[in-house]
Structure 1
């Protein structure tokens, strides 16, 4: 079954909006694990507007499932944070400074040599590497040349199109997934996946190993409760 990694950035956003430590990010992560999540994802940014760098150290010390740290490896502070904590996986995302949320994948053709160096840096420390890419077969093929273990397909376009034409929405992702299999890459996915579109995506994407979901899942938890929400997302991922 495809693994569910819960991105807890929005928990940190809520905490930071008031100051103090409510809600508690670590407690929320441990609850997600207790309710069945198979991984925890964080995406620290330089301004620490949600996940703080100290959160990463606190989480690493306590969580027992897979730990995935996303971020821009062009920031030395991010590199140092990952190397200090050695998560299960690092996901390389080409975020610009002050960007509200991720909105594109790497150009793995243009940045192939740079990404090769970054992939080697992390893999040499025993960290699995995933590169955030758009659903483009050329980008997938070039990603394989960097030595990365996996790619993460950026699924915003799928989510936006799904309600109008699900077959059209899934087509480029299916092709990208097949290319990933062809070149020997593991496959993750994330961004705007939710309870409406997740099941269809999982059923139509071959070789999908993991999805990282945050915003929609935490929003659903406001209505359904965190435990029930995670159960529903896990149910959507059953083969």
Structure 2
């Protein structure tokens, strides 16, 4: 994928924690409206990669470009204003705020009308309509994930970074999230970068799937082989 067709691009990216390096010379690119899945064992650098893309972790070397602009030195909120959104592992909703208040936080500094934006979001997340007045902490894990996704999308981003969104969630909501993400990608031309261990989910949402091992991307699993557990295990060591 060349630079002209890339919405989000990393080149020679290295990052780590203190003196411990985690990512090594990583190259990556995602096109507008493309969904890219990332598979790998725990501890291989998946979360570190997403945190570096969003700016929660500073790159030690290399560069990140978004929509043609260099953003390597920008802070997370500056990247968010430009059109990047991130749902971390564990969802990070505000448990004492209502669902409606959580959604409004996603509109901070976007200039969007809150009423119109939330009405639009609820078309994609109808399950949240009856939960708007409830504290975020009272929702189930699956409902919290829907809320976290809605909050991230409130600002109408161009790219959405997701870290293991199916973890600890009931199967019915996992399927609902997958269907919603596919719809959003098509209707909003939304790019998605997805770290996930659930093979059915990553196959449903992703157009291509990369394998990360010891802080480097080492291959790509053909989409048609994602249901072949032997092939997936050989590539990434991940089991359904």
Q: TM-score range by the shorter chain?
A: 0.3 to 0.5
Q: Which has the higher strand share?
A: 2
Q: Which has the higher helix share?
A: 1
TM normalised by structure 1 equals 0.42
| Higher-RCO chain (CA-CA 8 Å, sequence separation at least 6) | 2
TM normalised by structure 2 equals 0.42
